[in-house]
Structures are given as C-alpha cells and as structure tokens.
Amino acid sequence: AQTVTQSQPEMSVQEAETVTLSCTYDTSESDYYLFWYKQPPSRQMILVIRQEAYKQQNATENRFSVNFQKAAKSFSLKISDSQLGDAAMYFCAYSNTDKLIFGTGTRLQVFP
Amino acid sequence: DAGITQSPRHKVTETGTPVTLRCHQTENHRYMYWYRQDPGHGLRLIHYSYGVKDTDKGEVSDGYSVSRSKTEDFLLTLESATSSQTSVYFCAISELAGVETQYFGPGTRLLVL
C-alpha cells in the first residue's frame, strides 16, 4: 500500500526567509502524481503545487517550488521569500489511481 | 474557485442519531469524494463516487454510507453517529480520476456528544 510521510509536525521561518518542508512516500508504481496542499486557519484546502512523476523537471509556482527525487521517493516543498500569509498546515499527497493519500501535515509558522 | 458547497457547515448531534451531510457542486465534475480530517491523521478518504449511482469505499468507510443520485450532489450519511465520528468532513471533486487535481469544499465540523 502507498504511504506518505511528513516527518516535521511543525516548522517555523522568519518573514522573507526560505523554508523547506519534507515529504517522503512509498510506492511500487512508476507513474503517479504528487501534490502539496495548504490549509490556512479558514480550513479551506488550497492546491499549492502539483508534480507529475514522469516529468523530471521540478514544478514551480511563483515562490513555491519542489525538489522531486524520484529514486529517493522524496518530494519537498520550498517556500521562498516567506510571507505572513504562508502560515498554515501543509499537506503532501500522492495519487496514482482515483484516490489521494495524504500525509499527516506540517504546521508552518511565519514570524515577522 | 471551484463551485463546491457543503451543508451544514457546523452540526452538533447526539450519539445514536442519524446525520446526513451534503456536498453540492456546480462544476459537473465526474468524481466526488468525502474525507474526514482528524489531528495526527491528515485527511482520510471515507467514500468516493465516479459517477451517478457509482460509489466505492475508502480507507475509513465503516459507519458511513453515501449516495449520489445526481451529478451535482453527493450525500454522506452516518446511520447512527458515534463520538468517534466527531471530525471535520471535507468534500472534494475532480474532473477525471485522482491523478487530476482535487478541489475541496469548505468543510463541515461535526460534533457528536
């Protein structure tokens, strides 16, 4: 069975600095998709970034980028120039069929 | 933003009573999902639907049933609510199978006393 592990329950970063959130996953599949979702205090789940496993190029969305290491089954999220509005729970998720499998989340605090 | 609404947004009920949560979408997406979110567990899939009247179980389906009689509506029923079902419930939709991005509703906070 596929699993997703986020080993950092909490992280903190100073405003304008860079922070990296870790995610590892386990699968025997070769084609799959990986996601990072953000959940602010409003509880709304917001897609941050999406990576297709067959693409070697790391996905980037403005200040958010990933480091996708397929052989190591690692999918970390880098947030550059952190802003107060980035404070939230971040969930890593895996999918290769019709289901998403989520990690347990990392709570990110941003200090001014 | 994807057009997904959930009702009610908050509910308090007593153990043993039936509860139905509704998810409504205006996107005409084929796939709909129900998740529950609990501290330390992230989001876990309860049931999902891949078309009208087509549903399947997820990771934590015991004690829950679902129905989908129209493309736009996906109902989650707790036949006899228990305190362990106190949680935040999210509905999600996607146009294609799970390899496509899922869009989430605002969530329903359920408290079972």
Catalogue the E-assigned strands of chain B: 4-7, 10-13, 19-25, 31-38, 42-51, 54-57, 64-70, 73-78, 87-94, 103-104, 108-112
Cα gap A101→B102, rounded to integer Å: 12
With CA atoms as reference, the chain B residue closest to A49 would be: B101
Contact A103 B42 (CB under 8 A): yes
Confidence (pLDDT) at B99: 65
A34 chain-B contacts, CB cut-off 8 A: none
Q: A36-66, pLDDT tens digit by residue?
A: 999 999 889 999 999 998 888 888 889 999 9
Q: Mean pLDDT throughout B107-113?
A: 96
What is the dihedral angle through the alpha carbons of A38, A40, A43, A47, rounded to the nearest 10 degrees?
Answer: -20
Q: B15-44, pLDDT tens digit by residue?
A: 999 999 999 999 999 999 999 999 888 899
A102 chain-B contacts, CB cut-off 8 A: 42-44
Confidence (pLDDT) at B95: 85
How far A28 CA sits from the closest chain B CA (Å)? 16
- pLDDT of residue B82 exceeding 80, the answer is yes
Nearest to B108 by CA among B40, B8, B39: B8
Contact A33 B42 (CB under 8 A): no
* pLDDT classification of B101: cutoffs 50, 70, 90: confident
Size of chain B in residues: 113
How far A8 CA sits from the closest chain B CA (Å)? 12
Cα gap B26→B5, rounded to integer Å: 9
Strand-pair category, B10-13 with B108-112: parallel
Nearest to A36 by CA among A50, A53, A24, A55: A50
B31 chain-A contacts, CB cut-off 8 A: 98
Q: Which of residues 44-103 of A touch B (CB under 8 A)?
A: 44-45, 47, 50, 91, 95-103
DSSP string, A22-73: --EEE-S-SS-EEEEEEE-TT---EEEEEEETT--SPPEETTEEEEEETTTT
- DSSP lists the bridge partners of residue B10 as B109
- pLDDT of residue A15 exceeding 80, the answer is yes
Residue in B43, B99, B101 nearest the CB of A96: B99
